[in-house]
Each structure stands twice: as structure tokens, then as C-alpha cells.
Amino acid sequence: MSRSDQLPPEARWVKGVSAKQPLPEAAHCILQSRLSAVSHWLPLAAERSDEDIEYVHQLRVSTRRAVEALRVFSDLIPNAACEELRAKLGQVRLAADEARNLDVLCAEFVRYSEASCENTRRKIAETIKQRRRAAQQPIAAVYSELVAGNFDEQIDDLLKQIMGQRKGDSRRTFGRHAPRYLKPVLKKFFKSSQAELSDDEAFHRLRIRTKKLRYTMEIVAAAFKPCFRKRLFRWIVALQDVMGMVNDRAVAKALFSQWSETTNDAEEKAFFLGLLLAETRAHEDLRQAFYAIWTRSAVKRLQRQFRACCGFS
């Protein structure tokens, strides 16, 4: 995968896409950007993650963006090729999950550590590092598997198939199809927002729907008015950021709770329980911050803004 030698690909907005473009041309441009991003970050995350924890983070984000792009343009791609590529991207994302969670945990551990517990802190820090080194293996393994399976060539073949459809109806523009791509994702997002969000599963569903909406908005933004990016997208990103912080605290809580129950060392147990208490408080504070911005009136206002900006009825 030689693409890692290139400059980092555009992460959020794909250049060269417009509402008036033929749909296959816009799809080719977007998919090329999204899939190239995976090819860029995968070798860095697999071979050089010790240089920068952002490599694994960007790999996980880029795979999610790529999967969403494949979903959006699935009607332009042969089903077998689309499903095979989505499965491989799913492998990549899953391989990166544990490593990313431990990277976040390491940062939190350092933040909460105190000098008075230096010996215990050092022992636990080494345990976390060992787990993080072990979590690196799945990333390296999936990278080797995709290299052996000619992943980049598979991407190139898929892009060629899409560009082969450019001779279709000239009225088949990206702008005409963009609302069709956005509407079902938006509908599921607002449906999830109506649930009782004090329930952890309901909160998790909304967080996932928010991610999918964000990544779809990034894909179709060029087809809508400027308010789409300047107002709606910023609101969704802010919401996702808060929910992401809540989720990070929930992951840390679960790990510290698990480790406090499995250790036989009294000092370690006390240390973990202290961390668990701090994470529990932080988690609750962030949940309250989320409830403060995601009110019923805020949801209704956002619905009205989407209708006005996107022309939805």
C-alpha cells in the first residue's frame, strides 16, 4: 500500500464535487477520497502507531467514513463487490477499536494519577502498556491480510466500474440524488432522538445515528445551501462531540470497574476504585451537559432548520 507516502487525504469535505455533476462522477470522487484515506492511515496505524496515537484514531474514523460512502452509493456498485469491501473495512475498524480505547484510557490514567501512589501507578501503567501492545496485533494482522489480498487493486477496480457509468442520463446529477441519500438517515436520527435517553442503550443508538448522519452530511453537503455546513453540520458535530466524551467516560468506567474486580492486590483495587469514582462523576457531569443542549425544543428547532435548509416537506 504505497498510498501512505502521499499527503494525508482530505478528511471531511471532498474537493471537486458539485450538485451539477453527473452522479457517477461525484460518487467516484467521493469514494476515491474516502477509500484512499483508509489506505493512507492503515499502514501508519499498523507500523508506526507508537509515533502518534492519532494514526489509529484517524484509521477508525476513515473506515467509518468509507463504509458510509459505500452505503450511500451502493446502487452504483455491484452488490458482491460492495459487500466484500464493506466487510474488509469492518475488519479494519474492529481491529482498531481496542487499541483506540486503550489510547484514550492511557490519557485518562495519566490525568488522574497522583504522586502519592507512584509505585501502584507505575505497575498499572505498565499493565496498560502491555494491553496496548497486544491490541496492536490485530491492526498489523488485518493490514498484512489486506496487502496480501490486493486491497488497493480492489479499490481501483471498484472506482473504474463506477466511472464506466458516466454515459447515463445527463439529468442523473448528484444534486438530484443527494436528498434521497440524506432523508432516511435523518429520519432514523430524529426517531432515535425521541427515545428515553437516560437509558444507556437508547443513548448509544442515538450516538450511532448521529455519527451516520454526520458522515452522510459530509458526503452530500455540496448539493445543499451554505446553511447546511455553516449551521446544521456544526450543530451535529457539537452534539457528536459531547456524546463522544460521554462514551469515553463510559468505556473508562467499564474498564476500571472490571480491573478493580479482577485484581488481588489491595493497593491496586483501591487505586482503581478511586479512578472509577472520578470517571463516574465525570460521566454524570457530561450526561447532564448533553441533556442541557439536547432538549425537546432543541430537537424541534433542528427539525425545522433541516426542512428550511434542505427543502424537505
Distance of alpha carbon 36 from alpha carbon 158, whole angstroms: 12
Please name which of 91, 102, 176 lies closest in space to residue 133, comparing C-alpha atoms: 102
21-170, CATH topology level: CHAD domain (1.40.20)
Q: What is the mean pLDDT of residues 217-238?
A: 94
CB 23 within 8 A of CB 223: no
Greatest CA separation for the chain: 72
pLDDT at 36: 92
- Does pLDDT of 10 surpass 60? no
Give domain limits for the chain: 21-170, 173-313
pLDDT at 269: 87
What would the DSSP string read from start to end of 250-299?
HHHHHHHHHHHHH---HHHHHHHHHHHHHHHHHHHHHHHHHHHHS-HHHH
User: In the structure grid, which three cell numbers stand for residue 252, read together?
Assistant: 473508562
- Does pLDDT of 171 surpass 80? no
Taken in order 102, 103, 104, 105, the sign of the CA dihedral is positive
| Amino acid present at 132 | R
Taken in order 298, 299, 300, 302, the sign of the CA dihedral is positive
Which CATH entry fits the domain spanning 173-313: 3.20.20.140, 3.20.20.20, 3.60.20.10, 1.40.20.10?
1.40.20.10
Phi-psi region of 264 (alpha: psi -120 to 50; beta: other; left: phi over 0): alpha
The confidence band for 313, taking pLDDT boundaries of 50, 70 and 90, is low
- Does pLDDT of 4 surpass 50? no
Could you give the percent of the chain with pLDDT greater than 90? 59
Chain center to CA of 227:
23
The confidence band for 185, taking pLDDT boundaries of 50, 70 and 90, is very high
Q: Which residues contact 96 (CB under 8 A, 6 or more apart)?
A: 45, 56, 59, 60, 63, 138, 139
DSSP 75: G
Distance of alpha carbon 47 from alpha carbon 45, whole angstroms: 6
Chain center to CA of 258:
25
**Cβ atoms within 10 Å, residue 144:** 11
The confidence band for 138, taking pLDDT boundaries of 50, 70 and 90, is very high
Burial label, 227 (beta-carbon count in 10 A; 0-12, 13-18, 19+): middle
